[in-house]
Amino acid sequence: MGKITVTVIKADVGGFVGHSSVHEELLATAREQLAKSPLLVDFHVTHVGDDINLIMTHRQGVDSEEIHKLAWDTFVACTEVAKKLKLYGAGQDLLADAFSGNVKGLGPGIAEMEFFERTSEPIIVFAADKTEPGAWNLPLYKMFADPFNTIGLVIDPKMHEGFKFEVLDLLENKKIIFNTPEDLYDLLVFIGAPGRYCVKSVYTKAGEIAATSSTQRLNLMAGRYIGKDDPVLIVRCQSGLPAVGEALEPFARPHLVSGWMRGSHSGPLMPVSVADATPSRFDGPPRVIALGFQLADGKLIGPQDFFADKAYDRAREMALMIADYMRSLGPFEPHRLHLEEMEYTTLPLVLEKLKDRFVKA
C-alpha cells in the first residue's frame, strides 16, 4: 500500500460558553460531514477549549485541495449551527468568505504529514487552546534534542544521530534547518523566542518526517485581533523516534506560553484530559490535550487520552500554582505580554484613542 497522510485541521467557529468549549451539536455536525466523505480512510473529531480538531487520515497527500475543502466545508456547516445557537464568535476563525484551494491563510490551523506506515505506527496528536504555535517549541526541543527528557537520544543507537529541526520566522516568512545535536545552541537562540520563531517540523537525519505543527498566526494574517491560534502538533513515536512516554514527558512541567485572556497574557500550559479541556479561570489557564492512536492501514485505532492519566495530576497542581502567581501580577508584565506582542492584540486601538493627549515631555 502507498503512503498514508495524517491531516489535522482545526478552527474556532463559535464558543460555548464564551471562549470555553465547543457545543456538542457542532461536534456532531463535524462528524456527520466527515462521515459523508469518500476520501477519508478514517477520522476522529475532538475539541480543546473552543477549538474543533478534525483528525483525518487519507491517501491524497499533503496540501490536497479536496481534503482542505472538506475541512473548510465542515467548519462552514458548524458555523451555521453556531450562528443558530448564537454561540460566541460564530465563524471566528474563518477569515475568508469562500474557500480557495488551500486552507492555509484562510484562518483554520493545519498540521499534516505523509509517510509509509510502519509495522507499528504510534502517533500522538497534541492540541492546545489559549496559546500560539510557538508553544510547541520547548516540548519539541525536549522530545527530540534533550537527553534529560529523552533517554533514547543516549541509549538507543537508532536515535543517536539526532534530528533536523525546521524553524520558521513568522514575521519575515523565512525558514531554516538546524541539525541537532550539532547546532543545538544556534537552534535555541531562535526557538527561545517562540512569538517569532517556531518549529514547523522535525525530521530524522535520513529525512523521515517525525513531527509537524500548525504555524499560522491569525492576527498577523488578519491585521487585527481575532483570538490566539490554538495550535496542533502531530508526533510519530517509537522505533528510532521518541517513545510515547518521551513525547509526553515535556508536559509534566508546565511551561509559560503566550495567550490566555484576550490572547494577551503569559500563563502555564496545563495538560488535561479532553473532558477537562474547558478553560474557565481568566479564560484559561491555557490547555493542552494529547490523543494517542495506533494507525492500522490508515485506521485511527484509539484515542488514548493520555493526559487523563493520574501521572499528570502534579503537573496540573503546578500549573494552578503558577496560574495563581501570574494572576497576582494583574495588568503588569510579564503576566501581560510585552508591548511588541500587544501590537497584535487590541492595544493599538487604545493607543489610537489617546494619541492626542501625548505631548512633548
Q: Which is nearer to Mg ion, 10 or 142 (CB)?
A: 10
Binding partner of 261, given ligand 13P, Mg ion, none, CB within 5-8 angstroms per partner class: ligand 13P
Residue 238 interacts with ligand 13P (CB under 6 A): yes or no: yes
Q: Which three cell numbers stand for residue 14?
A: 463559535
Nearest of 229, 262, 257, 272 to residue 322 by alpha carbon? 257
Was 283 annotated as part of a binding site? Answer: yes
Selected from 91, 109, 263, 271, the binder of ligand 13P by CB under 6 A is 263
Residue 12 interacts with Mg ion (CB under 5 A): yes or no: yes
Amino acid at 289: I
Instruction: Tell me which stretch binds ligand 13P (CB under 6 A): 96-104, 165-173, 203-211, 224-232.
Output: 224-232
Selected from 49, 109, 267, 285, the binder of ligand 13P by CB under 6 A is 49
The one catalytic residue among 10, 142, 200, 228: 228
Contact 329, 335 (CB under 8 A): yes
Q: Cα separation of 314 and 337, whole Å?
A: 26
Q: Which three cell numbers stand for residue 348?
A: 493599538
Residue 23 interacts with ligand 13P (CB under 6 A): yes or no: no
Contact 17, 39 (CB under 8 A): no
Amino acid at 24: E
> What b/e string do you get for 309-342 counting C-beta neighbours within 10 Å, with b at 16 or more?
eeebeebbeebeebbeebbeeeeeeebbbeeebb
Was 325 annotated as part of a binding site? Answer: no
Query: DSSP letters along 68-99, please?
Result: HHHHHHHHHHHHHHHHHTT-BTTTTT--SSS-
Active site residue 228: yes
Amino acid at 229: D
Active site residue 203: no
Per the annotation, where are the binding residues? 12, 19, 50-51, 88, 92, 101-102, 129-130, 228-230, 238-239, 262, 283, 344
Query: Which residues contribute to the site for ligand 13P (CB under 6 A)?
Result: 12, 19, 49-50, 129-130, 156, 227-228, 230, 238-239, 243, 245, 261-263, 283
Query: Which residues contribute to the site for Mg ion (CB under 5 A)?
Result: 12, 15, 19, 49-51, 89, 129, 227, 230
